[in-house]
Amino acid sequence: MAEEPDSGVLSRAERKAKEKAKMLQRESQREIFRLVGRVLKKPEAERSEEEAAALLLHTEAVEELCRRQVRRSVLKRKQEEVFDSAEELKTKVRQLAAAVKQSKHLVVYTGAGISTAASIPDYRGPNGVWTLLQKGRAVSSSDLSKADPTFTHMCIRMLYKEMLVKHVVSQNCDGLHLRSGLPRTALSELHGNMFIEVCTSCSPVREYVRLFDVTERTSLHRHGTGRKCTHCGGELRDTIVHFGERGTLEQPLNWKGAAEAAQNADVILCLGSSLKVLKKYACLWCMNRPAGKRPKLYIVNLQWTPKDDLAVLKINGKCDDVMKILMEELNIRIPAYDRSEDPIFTLATPLQPSDAASHTREVITRHRRDQDPSADPAGLTEAAAVQGGWFGRGYGKGRRKKKAA
């Protein structure tokens, strides 16, 4: 006796008909949204009776498009840079100065905004790396190793020297905190340092500080620098933690120091960070404590951050401007950065002769070449513009993979 076909299984023709019906339904939905969108763009007084009837007929589409518009407006406001007036800025910084004086364990979190004064682009500002990439525009190239520590970097170093700051947690890879003279024990570079390469084959991990950007050949999930360890012959790798990666190196990331500092902090000062990445690191915020027992949060940033509502004070100003007023309030004199005393020259390991041609990046010298007329008397030599190895690469690859999927 023949078995009856399973009524729960659709035939090929039925499946194709069902898919076609779905496609037609989606196209019809898109057409409705296009129609409603065109009508909503018109002033109410200029809409015809047919257009007004269409809005009444397709109320769900109207509500969805209105919600989308609200989301776009909110996003646009969050991306706008806001500046406090000169008087408001002074008033706010005075409040910050009082908090710094009273604090027993102040920890500073820094982002790309403290390095923009050194001509290093930030990420989410109007001309930030990721902002430009999202718009499909090219990222301008520059040799990031030519940058010197900014006024804000030097202020942080002096605050540490005066024992007002206990620890600095930075998202920046530019190495400027280290070059400002901040001790490594007081610094956590969570996303790595462009001047440091390491041998993970050695135990413990062996570190090489260089006088040039080691990330020339590296990118997302590709960290080999092309040089070898002088002790074991293993391949050296950079220390950069790209977007989408998890950092595992003990140094220069120093997660242990960052977590301990956050646990002991009574005040956290965030400088020049959107906090969109830092907010994901739960150990930095003590959110498992009652609100009254968490560190007091102070934020200096021109754009919205996801921690604004939790902050005691939000200062909308450039980091250098804020720190200038703060140092005046604290009566602390800030020495200018002196490249000849940059600690990187003491920390650096010279390249082996065989590695002399392993990179094309400019080497940092004790005296800037653009300040030494004898280096280029006619001013005719123009250094080739290059792009930092980590800048935008992880983000770009991540977006391409997502789109391909």
State the pairing for strand pair 224-228/206-209.
Answer: unpaired
CA distance 166 to 55: 60
The token duo for 389 is: 């190895």
Measured torsion, CA atoms of residues 115, 279, 307, 153, in degrees rounded to the nearest 10:
-20
Helix, strand, coil proportions of the chain in percent (round to 5)? 45, 10, 45
The token duo for 273 is: 């960070």
Q: CA-based angle 110:116:117, to the nearest 5?
A: 110
Nearest to 146 by CA among 87, 195, 207: 195
Half-sphere exposure of 281 (CA within 13 A, CB side): 20
CA 301 from centroid of its chain's CA atoms: 13
Nearest to 274 by CA among 63, 168, 124: 124
CA distance 211 to 205: 20
Say which of 167, 191, 223, 359 is annotated catalytic: 191
**Catalytic status, residue 191:** yes
Residue found under tokens 């140092």: 327
**389 in Cβ contact with 219 (< 8 Å):** yes
The token duo for 73 is: 């407006």
Residue numbers annotated as active site: 191
